[in-house]
Amino acid sequence: MILRTRRPQVVLAVSVRRQQAYVHQTYAVPGKSGAGSPSEGACHIMRTVVQSEQTASPPPGYSQAVLVEGRKLYFISGQGPVDAAGQTVGEGDLRAQCHQVFRNLQAQLAAVGADFSHVVKFTFFLTDAAMHEFAVFRQVRLEYLHGDYPAASTVGVSALVDSRWLLEAEAVAVLE
């Protein structure tokens, strides 16, 4: 499914200070279609990253909150480290499992002509074993996410649905 709009593709980023919060606004984030090539006017959203002065700054690669104006929300269920055949990838290898989870999220986004720039919220579930290698998770995450980062939560859990999994991730994206 390809989503189209007649609005021109324009990207404008400004930072303003508003009621004790720093606000970074990105207008008209262009979408993509097909094999990753930009599609003229495929999808536009307005996304505002908000940083409150009354709370601690988030670590690099994270945003405290994201305000979004768009027409459709796309909810991606938990994606585990499984390949297209349903086989667990990288048993015991957090880096390999992280890459597979992000590839699965990428595939789900591509199915509707979107990419990671459309994601406004991630929830990551890491097992206790994976939490001991949190730096690996963070490093792989930054390979896939760039620019204004989505809001995100990382939750440590004792186990996931498959005992071989070290992490699972779900996402919310905004489409037009």
- Domain-wise residue ranges, the chain: 12-69, 72-175
Does position 44 have pLDDT exceeding 70, yes or no? no
Residue with tokens 């508003």: 18
Least confident range of 20-34, 81-95, 119-133: 20-34
Residues whose CB is less than 8 angstroms from the CB of residue 103 and which lie 6 or more positions away in sequence, other chains included: none
Does position 31 have pLDDT exceeding 80, yes or no? no
Axis-axis angle for helices 94-110, 134-144 (nearest 10)? 30
Contact 61, 142 (CB under 8 A): yes
- CB < 8 Å & 24+ apart, contacts of 144-147: 144/102, 144/106, 144/116, 145/61, 145/116, 146/116, 147/26, 147/117
Q: What is the mean pLDDT of the segment spanning 84-107?
A: 96
Write out pLDDT tens, residues 57-92.
877 877 877 777 757 888 999 999 999 999 999 999
pLDDT band for position 48 (50/70/90)? confident
Domain 72-175 has CATH 1.20.1260.10: no
